[in-house]
């Protein structure tokens, strides 16, 4: 019997899960609609049934553990706490609920910490002890690894770099404060920067033809690739703000590498080039040349399941 783990990514809309070997190979995968189950008990039953079905499709395997990535997950307590985008209110002891049905070790963490675990076990950080993964999507998440361990801190919520304030009194943030790193350095921060530049700059731009509600980091990156002046300026400003947040993080934990992951990171060299230059300008002299700025080593399509699976494999070590 070959050991596999289940990697489960719980999102506001979908739950994606797969059976993953120790090598990182996903041997079976499925999904269900999170929104179909407003009652947590029904959700757990459906999820457990679906995982058991996946296992039955394969022979010669044994489930050794379960890893879960979920918003507002508390690793220490095995709970999902006050997650704004999920129907289950309050503090949900989901690890305990699942363990009642499947008796294997279960660990849970948030998506950025799962991404860091995935990078460490299956991705570009296999040989690294100190690194940071930034997930640049609608929000800006961060998973920090120190001495080979994901940083949780006293509360379990450490690593909220997206909500360190980099512009006092700056852009309104969903967390209720202003000027958070997330409002400048995420994919949605890039969109906000374009809107601001469209007000400031007089240059022609194809971005003027897109309704603001339909602007995406992908469309902006495509425009930048065609030398659209507003898109290029927005990329440069976003790179500068990302570098600012990265440089301050380097002064904190002195990582060997910083991985950029998610929608905005797909922009590629038009983003990474200036980020590297700005980071090198902005860090303290003793940190110059000490930190690599890298794209994630995990394919975006598999990242959520692999990150959750990596968490499980790491617990089994």
The nearer residue to a second copy, 249 or 305, going by C-beta atoms, is 249
Question: Which residues neighbour 58 within 8 Å (Cβ) at sequence distance 6 or greater?
Answer: 4, 19, 27, 28
The nearer residue to a second copy, 44 or 246, going by C-beta atoms, is 246
Please state the closest distance from residue 308 (CB atom) to a second copy, in A: 22
Please state the closest distance from residue 252 (CB atom) to a second copy, in A: 5
The nearer residue to a second copy, 45 or 72, going by C-beta atoms, is 72
The nearer residue to a second copy, 100 or 154, going by C-beta atoms, is 154
Number of Cα atoms under 13 Å in the Cβ half of residue 133: 31
DSSP H or E stretch at residue 56: helix 40-56
Q: What is the dihedral angle through the alpha carbons of 182, 75, 10, 296, rounded to the nearest 10 degrees? A: 50
Please state the closest distance from residue 74 (CB atom) to a second copy, in A: 10
Please state the closest distance from residue 245 (CB atom) to a second copy, in A: 10
Please state the closest distance from residue 213 (CB atom) to a second copy, in A: 27
Distances (CA, A) of 1 to 7, 62, 182, 265, 312: 19, 6, 45, 39, 18
Assess contact for 69 and 111: CB atoms under 8 A.
yes
Please state the closest distance from residue 291 (CB atom) to a second copy, in A: 8
The nearer residue to a second copy, 62 or 129, going by C-beta atoms, is 129
User: Which 3-state string (H, E, C) describes 61-124?
Assistant: EEEEEEEEECCCEECCCCEEECCCCCCCCCEECHHHHHHHHCCCCEEEECHHHHHHHHHHHCCC
The nearer residue to a second copy, 72 or 266, going by C-beta atoms, is 72
Would you tell me how many other CB atoms lie within 10 Å of the CB of residue 183?
27
Chain residues binding a second copy by CB under 8 A are: 129-130, 144, 146-147, 149, 151-161, 163-165, 167-168, 175-177, 244, 247-249, 251-256, 282, 284-287, 290-291
């Amino acid at each position: 019997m070959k050991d596999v783990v289940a990697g489960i990514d719980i999102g506001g809309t979908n739950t994606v899960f797969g059976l993953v070997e120790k090598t990182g190979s996903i041997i079976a995968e499925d999904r269900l609609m999170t929104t179909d189950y407003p009652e947590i008990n029904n959700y757990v039953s459906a999820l457990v049934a679906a995982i058991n079905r996946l296992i039955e499709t394969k022979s010669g395997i044994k489930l050794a553990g379960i890893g879960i990535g979920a918003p507002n997950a508390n690793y220490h307590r095995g709970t999902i706490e006050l997650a704004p985008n999920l129907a289950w209110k309050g503090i949900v002891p989901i690890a305990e609920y699942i363990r009642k049905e499947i008796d294997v070790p279960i660990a849970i963490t948030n998506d950025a910490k799962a991404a860091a675990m995935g990078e460490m076990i299956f991705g570009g950080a296999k040989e690294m002890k100190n690194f940071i993964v930034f997930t640049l999507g609608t929000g800006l998440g961060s998973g920090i690894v120190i001495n080979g361990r994901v940083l949780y801190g006293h509360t379990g919520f450490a690593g909220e770099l997206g909500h360190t304030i980099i512009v006092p009194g700056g852009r309104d943030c969903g967390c209720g404060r202003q000027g958070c790193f997330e409002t400048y350095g995420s994919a949605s921060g890039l969109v906000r920067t374009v809107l601001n530049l469209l007000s400031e700059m007089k240059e022609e731009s194809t971005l003027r033809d897109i309704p603001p509600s339909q602007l995406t980091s992908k469309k902006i990156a495509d425009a930048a690739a065609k030398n659209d002046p507003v898109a290029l300026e927005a990329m440069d400003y976003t790179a500068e703000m990302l570098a600012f947040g990265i440089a301050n993080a380097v002064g904190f934990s002195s990582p060997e590498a910083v991985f950029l992951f998610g929608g905005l990171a797909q922009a590629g060299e038009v983003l990474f080039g200036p980020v590297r230059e700005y980071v090198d300008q902005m860090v303290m002299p003793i940190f110059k040349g000490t930190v690599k700025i890298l794209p994630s080593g995990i394919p975006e399509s598999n990242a959520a399941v692999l990150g959750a699976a990596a968490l499980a494999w790491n617990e089994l070590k």
